[in-house]
Amino acid sequence: MYIHWEKGLELGNDLIDTQHRMLILLCRKLDIAIKTRAGEQLIRWVMMELKKFTEFHFTSEENLMHEIGYPGVDEHALIHADLLVQLDMMLAKISHHKEFPEDLLFFLNKWVAQHVVNEDLKIAEFARCSDKRPIGEDLYGQYLLSGKAQSKD
């Protein structure tokens, strides 16, 4: 069974939580593309979307760690860099038909679940006690709420 969003994965930062949800959604999108036997090109596009979003997310998460003064930011950034290397290697193998998109999906589902629970929750715990607050901490939540309010009009 593939990962799905659950309350226990929330860090308490609206921006990062939304990005984690998006990563899970993109994993699901890849799963659907594979199961519906979408064309090879479409599956490649979805895999590239996943890669690019993962890179963006890591930048956001690392910025958050810097903003709150998280002491493990360098180690956490190394974990991110390692994942990106593994991801690039898998994508190269898939393009040479040495691995399959299903292998990437399995890897990402396992990695996302373990990383959020074992590493990202440490950031959340630190953030709750940190005197330093993220820049515009409430802006993203307000933005989400304003979008909901506008869509009701």
Q: Could you tell me if residue 26 is inside a domain?
A: yes
pLDDT band at 134 (very low <50, low <70, confident <90, very high): confident
pLDDT band at 44 (very low <50, low <70, confident <90, very high): very high
Q: Could you tell me if residue 153 is inside a domain?
A: no
Higher pLDDT, 152 or 11: 11
Q: Among residues 36, 22, 40, 27, which one has the least CA distance to residue 1? A: 27
- Over the range 93-124, which residues count as b (16 or more CB within 10 Å of their CB) and which as e? ebeeeebebeebbeebbebbbebbeeebbebb
Report whether pLDDT(89) > 60: yes
pLDDT tens-digit readout, 18-27: 899 999 999 9
Catalogue the E-assigned strands of 34-86: none
Q: Could you tell me if residue 6 is inside a domain?
A: no
Q: Residue 70 is part of a domain; what is its CATH number?
A: 1.20.120.50
Q: Domain count of the chain? A: 1
Q: Could you tell me if residue 69 is inside a domain?
A: yes
Q: Could you tell me if residue 80 is inside a domain?
A: yes
**Position 53: which residue type?**
F
The residue range of the domain holding 31 is 12-147
pLDDT tens-digit readout, 51-71: 999 999 999 999 999 999 999
pLDDT for the residue numbered 45: 95
Q: Could you tell me if residue 43 is inside a domain?
A: yes
Q: Could you tell me if residue 22 is inside a domain?
A: yes
pLDDT for the residue numbered 150: 55
Higher pLDDT, 95 or 152: 95
